[in-house]
Structure 1
Amino acid sequence: MLTRIISGIVGIIAAGIIIQTGSWLFIAAVLILAMLAWREYAHAFGHKGIDIPAPFGAGLTVYAILQAILLPQYVMFPFMMVLMFVFFKMIFNHASFAVHQACIMLAGIIYIALPFYHLAALRNLGGDTVLVTNSLLGDFTAGCALVWLTFIGTWASDTFAYFVGCSIGKHRLCPVISPKKSVEGFVGGIIGTMLCMAALGSFFGFDLTAMLIMGALIAVIGTLGDLVESCFKRYVGIKDSGNLIPGHGGVLDRFDSLLFTAPLVYYAAVFLLGF
């Protein structure tokens, strides 16, 4: 438990520095996390005897994210290129790279690259718009505030669901995939995240109704992201995606919910908050 707490504190401090700094430091961190997540994804399917070329997949993942960031008006172009690269490999290396391997690789690139692209794009949303907080923490750019909303909202969902589930959880939410999740914890996560987002919305000056809606959606979609990774791990027969973060597992274990909540907050910010 002590190891888990210490690594969590270190992670929060590092995240704070990277989020506040933004710019290429934030993009570099996103690309590194995406590469590590892809490596874990490929390694996980290796336990099932499905060989996916990790360097090739990692390179395509980084290419897709980076080109989408540099040319956001053509965001689908790099993903079309990835599709062609993978299928070309399937055609010309068919003996060692069959159809099912190509499909699993494409699913993994979409699963990892699209959410991390949205996380990077979220940091730049709102351009130079500054949110005046009149607090000791100072002012925030809109993109910085939205990234904090994403991280804190996702953490709040996990935390409230965990403690409510441990306290009063009796009815299993999805026992085949994740036996420990309960309906009570799920509802507690929704309510807790809504309250947390309402408080953050008040701090940043966002519309209260929009923040309550966003809070509920983060809890629901974040739980879905957690269950998706649980499906993968159960299918390949592993407990954790990796051991990079002491006491927490791998990158996918820590970012499974965020892979779904980052795109959600991006579009919620566009359609609900008007960015």
Structure 2
Amino acid sequence: MITRIISGVIGIVLAAYVIQEGGQTFSIAAAVLAILAWFEYTRAFSHRGGSPALFSGLLGIGGMLYGAYMGQLELILLALMGSAVLALITAVLMRGDVSVPDVCVSVAGICYIGLPFAHLIMLRALSGASYVTPIETFDLGTAMIWVMFIGTWSSDSFAYFAGRAFGAHKLAPAISPNKTIEGFVGGLLGTVAAVAGLGYLLQMPLTHMAGLGAVIAILGTLGDLVESLMKRYAGIKDSGAIIPGHGGIWDRFDSVLFTAPLVYYYTIYFVLH
């Protein structure tokens, strides 16, 4: 537990620095995390005997993140299309070594990991109104990145503690035996309160922010369950051990893969319009 806490504190400090810096620093950090998550993803399915298209994924995810950094949707689509075609062509050229399921796993993984991290970069790059708080003045992208991360962390933390204190009914026993309905409800209520509190601090509509908090909790939980389902299929417990006490990058960002696009589109359609 001490190792987990220390790693968590160090991670939060590093995240705060990267978020506040933004720009190239944030994009490079996102790219490193995405690439590490991709390596963990391919290793997980290789553990079951598969052969995911590692090189195609690196090209596709790298291209999507570069497109997000440049603010060019066409580059993101080109990288996605190109990497998918390359993975399919690889299966044709290496028939017998790369199966059809391998290609499906590869293309799905490129979308599953690359697109959310691209949305993360685009979210941080959004510009608009400034938000003056007692702590600091935040631009739009910085404010909404904090909303996304704090909401996601709140969902995980409140669900964990509520589950330990009150958990009695399993939420999805066939996928994640430790998750409980009571934990999910605690995570939901805690996230609504946390995101609404951020809304008050940032002077955003409280009803909208409370609703956003609820959806963050729901999608964050589903993101966690999706990763658990994949790991159970692959026959592994953790995606990696790069973060002491926390597992791998994929383990830590499984919920963010779902909540980052959510907050991006919320910001585009409800804050900027």
Say yes or no: TM over 0.5.
yes
Q: Deviations over 1:7-30 (max 9, x none)?
A: 111100000000000000000001
8 Å contact kept, 1:68–1:76: no
Alignment of 1:233-248 (within 5 A): 233-248=231-246
* 1:152 aligned residue: 150
1 CA distance for matches of 2:101 and 2:65? 24
Give CA deviations for 1:42-90 in whole Å, capped at 9, x if unaligned: 1111110112243442232111221243253424232122221211212
Counting aligned pairs with the same residue, the percent is 46
Q: Distance in 2 between matches of 1:174 and 1:128?
A: 41
SS across alignment from 2:250:
helix
- 1:191 paired with 2:192, answer no
For 1:104, the equivalent position in structure 2 comes to 105
Unaligned stretches of 5+ in structure 1? none
Question: Does the Cα contact within 8 Å between 1:68 and 1:78 map onto a contact in 2?
Answer: no
In structure 1, the partner of 2:6 is: 6
The Cα of 1:37 is off from its aligned counterpart by: 0.2
SS in 1 for 2:84: helix
Superposed counterparts of 1:65-214, under 5 Å: 65-74=65-74, 75-125=76-126, 127-133=127-133, 135=134, 137-214=135-212
| CA drift at 1:97 | 1.7
Deviates more, 1:158-167 or 1:73-82: 73-82
Given that 2:35 and 2:58 are in contact with CA atoms closer than 8 Å, whether structure 1 keeps it comes out as yes
Partner of 1:229: 227
Query: In structure 2, the residue corresponding to 1:272 is in which secondary structure?
Result: helix
Provide the residue aligned with 1:34 in structure 2.
34
- CA deviation string 1:133-177 (max 9, x = no partner): 2x1x22001100100111100000011111111111111110100
Using the alignment, how far apart are the partners of 1:4 and 1:111 within structure 2?
A: 27
Give the 4+ runs in structure 1 shifted more than 3 A: none
User: Residue 271 of structure 2: SS of its match in structure 1?
Assistant: coil
1:95 Cα deviation after fit: 3.0
Verify: 1:64 aligned to 2:64, yes or no.
yes
Q: TM-score, normalised by structure 2?
A: 0.96
- The answer to whether residue 269 in structure 2 is matched with residue 268 in structure 1 is no
Amino acid in the other structure paired with 2:210: L
Structure 1 CA distance for aligned equivalents of residues 73 and 107 of structure 2:
22
CA distance in 1, matches of 2:69, 2:25: 14
The separation in 2 between residues aligned to 1:203 and 1:210, in whole angstroms, is 14
TM superposition shift of 1:228: 0.2
Separation (CA, whole Å) in 1 of partners of 2:128 and 2:167? 45
Provide the C-alpha distance between the structure 2 equivalents of 1:188 and 1:155, rounded to a whole number of angstroms: 13
Q: Tell me if the contact between 2:53 and 2:102 (Cα under 8 Å) persists in the aligned partners.
A: no
Residue identity in the other structure for 2:154: A
The TM-score with structure 1 as length reference comes to 0.95
Q: Distance in 2 between matches of 1:73 and 1:226?
A: 28
Cα distance 1:95–1:234, how it changes in 2: closer, same or farther (>3 A)?
same
SS in 2 for 1:76: helix
Farther-moved stretch of structure 1 (263-272 vs 186-195): 263-272
Q: Distance in 2 between matches of 1:54 and 1:40?
A: 11
